[in-house]
Amino acid sequence: MVMNDPTPPRAGAPAGTSAKRPLDTVVKMALGVLFGSFALIWGGMFLSRPDRSIPPYSVGSQERTVVAVHVPSWTSDTEIETLIERFRKVGAETRNFGSMKIQPTTLDDPKGRYQHIAIYIFADEGWTEPDVLHKYVTGEDATVRDGFEKSVRGLYRLDEQEEEGRIGPIPRGKDSAATAAYSRQLFKGPVVRDEATAPADSRTAP
């Protein structure tokens, strides 16, 4: 005896063809949240950058004078160089990195709130997590230190009178020769202050 199929066919569907089940509502919601999160992260980085002449970026974490910055994975070396040059411009003109979404690094220094700063730029945001940066700054984990410096896409370092900018990983130790092949120093030397644009008190709050 042939039992009747309890599921009626779709209107207009060929005989013997059952209707396709639509995606479950929970699955639709999960997919919407996933893609929405990516859109919000990228959109927030894009819209919150100080201007459109530099690539989108976000400050992942900061510990005292050391800052870990994240850029999208597709950011080119040329774009990262543009970002480093913007940091350099701020250091020469106002030395007020608050406009670049960075908290004061030398808050109690009477000479200024950003007398020392080191900004590391990564395409992998995992290296910008607070716990990873803490391990790097304290030097408590050699594996983290090595991975951190090998994963750097760009660096801007500023002291009271000296500054440095570079693209690529930071050469160090026995692997310095191999690492140097993928890195390039942009500049290193005394800071050239632009007195025409520098404020009388560089400690002005952002």
**When comparing pLDDT for 36 and 42, which is higher?**
36
Is the predicted pLDDT of residue 189 greater than 70, yes or no? Answer: yes
pLDDT at site 25:
76
Phi (first) and psi of residue 179, to 5 degrees: -65, -40
**When comparing pLDDT for 73 and 8, which is higher?**
73
d(CA 23, CA 167): 46
d(CA 90, CA 194): 10
Cβ atoms 83, 57 nearer than 8 A: yes
d(CA 121, CA 80): 8
Sign of the torsion angle spanned by Cα atoms 154, 158, 164, 170: negative
Q: 119-173 pLDDT, tens per residue? A: 999 999 999 999 999 999 999 899 999 999 999 999 999 998 899 999 999 987 6
State the CB neighbour count (10 A cutoff) for residue 34.
Answer: 10
Residues whose CB falls within 8 Å of the CB of residue 117, separated by 6 or more in sequence, listed in order: 65, 67, 91, 97, 102, 105, 156, 157, 158
pLDDT at site 169:
94
d(CA 46, CA 99): 15
pTM to 2 decimals? 0.71
Lowest-confidence region among 27-41, 52-66, 139-153? 27-41
206 pLDDT band, cuts 50/70/90, is: very low
Is the predicted pLDDT of residue 4 greater than 60, yes or no? Answer: no
Q: What is the mean pLDDT of residues 60-88?
A: 97
Which residue type is seen at 38?
F
Count each helix (H run) and each strand (E run) in the chain, helices first. 5, 6
Average pLDDT, the chain: 82
Segments making up each domain of the chain, as ranges: 21-50, 54-190
pLDDT at site 94:
93
- The kind and range of the H/E element at 57 are none
d(CA 61, CA 48): 16
* Residue 37, burial from CB neighbour count under 10 angstroms (0-12, 13-18, 19+): exposed
**When comparing pLDDT for 13 and 127, which is higher?**
127
d(CA 23, CA 53): 42
46 pLDDT band, cuts 50/70/90, is: low
Is the predicted pLDDT of residue 204 greater than 60, yes or no? Answer: no
